[in-house]
Copies of this chain bind each other. A is one copy, B any other.
Amino acid sequence: MAEDARDRLARLHGEMRERICLMDWAPGTRLSEEGIAAEYGVSRTPIRRVLARLEDEGLVQSLHGIGTMVTDPGAEELAQTYALREELAELVGRLSPVEVGAAQRAEMAGFRAQGEALAQAPEARSFARLNMAYFAFGLSLTGNAVLREVAERLYYRTARVWLRQIAALDLAEECAVFLAELRETERALSAGDAMAAALVRRAHISMSVRRLMAAGAAGRAVD
């Protein structure tokens, strides 16, 4: 079997979401339905289906007669999203935490190793990709699928802004802090303590937000 239409849309959605979150399509960018359709070799219809979902997720906004733009969350919305993300991060350790086994520890060690490599050669895009993959791993520590879905939704909503601000901050320092988080989490998982890992995550989200907010709204796309 080649590929189900359902899977094709999911793949399209994932790719377009990544282009937004990695700032290939920065906030404010006007997307062309026809252009994207031509690029993927399909008609506007399935692209519109994906854009509709991205709009429901808050990543883009379509205006009749004007265009479809990548949204740029305001400071208030960002603060509210992060506030909720902090709570959800803690819930990952409290609601149906999985039993930490050898598989989790091995995967965690892999992330720590990648984190060390990144800290030696800081680079924004690699950082963003690793952060994304590590976030997914963190979610795998809860058995609550609904929580995973909601937390993922909110993560992708903040990812592009995080990446933009990271580039404005001291990239090397951010990578170093990230590596520290990875090491702390590895310690928690080695002890089999998923709740501790969740608390480490929450603490680092909290501190990350502080640094981001301190950097201010510099670099916000003009409307």
Contacts and interface: CB of A to CB of B under 8 A. Distances in A.
Contacts of A91: 84, 87
Copies of chain A in the complex: 2
Nearest to A149: B58
A3 interface: no
A132 interface: no
Contacts of A84: 91, 95, 144, 146-147, 150
Nearest to A95: B83
B146 A77 contact: yes
Contacts of A56: 53, 56
Contacts of A53: 52-53, 56
A217 interface: no
Contacts of A83: 95-96, 144, 147
A145 interface: yes
16 contacts: A4-B64, A5-B64, A6-B64, A53-B53, A56-B56, A80-B95, A80-B96, A80-B146, A81-B146, A83-B95, A83-B96, A83-B144, A84-B95, A84-B146, A87-B91, A146-B154
